Amino acid sequence: MEGEWFIEVLRKKFEKDEILGDYAKRIVSDIRDYWSVMTPFSFCMSEKGDLLSQWRGYANDGTGVSIGFCKEYMYDLGEEADLFSGLKKVIYDEQKAIDLFFRTTTIDVLKRNVKNAYISDELIQERHDAVELSELKIESLDKIFWQMLDETMQVYFAKNPAFEEENEWRIIFSTPVGEEKHMLFSGVEIEVMGNNLKPYKPLKIPSEDKQPIIQIILGPKNKTKISTIKYLMKMNGFENIDVVRSKASYQ
């Protein structure tokens, strides 16, 4: 849903461009194709650890916990791990999201190649230089593909402004999908969520040098004793964790 919102934003932008306007629908269609080639995995966090809407939507209706991670640790993890991106803040502003996507190199690649990339096969067949045109079309599409494949991943750092209160941060990486021989299965697992099967990839968070977890907030409906949570954390090697109860109220 987030991607569709951003793609619609891009479509409107393309339609207003003097050169790209005539090709807006084709470009957007290809963006969807490029996007479908990749399966993104995201580690999502929020600046606000005690937000009522988050408890309702992501913590089993307030019975779960909110885990507070050390920002510096997560920055380092994002840089060191084999991921698509480091830790980045999600953009909720439409214009900023567009600016992120429409970097100069992307616009240049599109405008230089769009006419040749989307020339019709019928027109090629009518030309005496059909072979050369066909090769040029393939070459142009290839250039657009690789440029757009990189840029379309920015979709996952843009979100509808209606979700701005979440103040979300993400670490994202991506795995190609398709036929089995083209898939990267390394470390990818499957879990049942409701009536669906969802792929996921566990993200190891080592704690030898730095402590990644600094706080645990018990949800509004969580009845677990604070002492029990502290004991559990200590059993797993996490010392001096700040454990508190949520200040949010369901009443």
Strands laid side by side in the 65-69 sheet: 65-69, 213-218, 242-245
Residue 216, helix vs strand vs coil:
strand
Give residue 124's pLDDT band: very low, low, confident or very high (50, 70, 90): low
Give residue 27's pLDDT band: very low, low, confident or very high (50, 70, 90): confident
List, in sequence order, the alpha helices (H) in 40-194: 52-58, 71-80, 94-101, 104-117, 121-126, 130-152
Q: Give the per-residue pLDDT at 181.
A: 41
What average pLDDT score do residues 150-172 get? Answer: 82
Q: Give the per-residue pLDDT at 32.
A: 76
Residue 251 within a domain: no
Using alpha carbons, list the distances in angstroms from residue 160 to 21, 88, 92.
24, 16, 6
pTM of the model: 0.73
Query: Do 133 and 52 meet the contact criterion of CB atoms below 8 Å apart?
Result: no
Say how many domains are in the chain: 1
Q: Give the per-residue pLDDT at 182.
A: 39
Average pLDDT, the chain: 79
Using alpha carbons, list the distances in angstroms from residue 231 to 64, 224, 225, 237, 238.
17, 12, 10, 10, 9
Q: Give the per-residue pLDDT at 128.
A: 54
Give residue 180's pLDDT band: very low, low, confident or very high (50, 70, 90): very low
Q: Which two tokens stand for residue 242?
A: 């700040």
Query: Do 81 and 205 meet the contact criterion of CB atoms below 8 Å apart?
Result: no
Residue 139 within a domain: yes
Residue 38 within a domain: yes
Q: Give the per-residue pLDDT at 178.
A: 47
Residue 12 within a domain: yes
What contacts 14, CB < 8 A, 6 or more positions away?
Answer: 20, 21, 23, 24, 27, 28
Residue 250 within a domain: no
Residue 211 within a domain: yes
DSSP annotation of 158: B
Residue 210 within a domain: yes
What average pLDDT score do residues 90-116 get? Answer: 75
Q: Give the per-residue pLDDT at 183.
A: 42
Domain containing residue 29: 2-245
What average pLDDT score do residues 51-75 get? Answer: 92
209 pLDDT higher than 60: yes
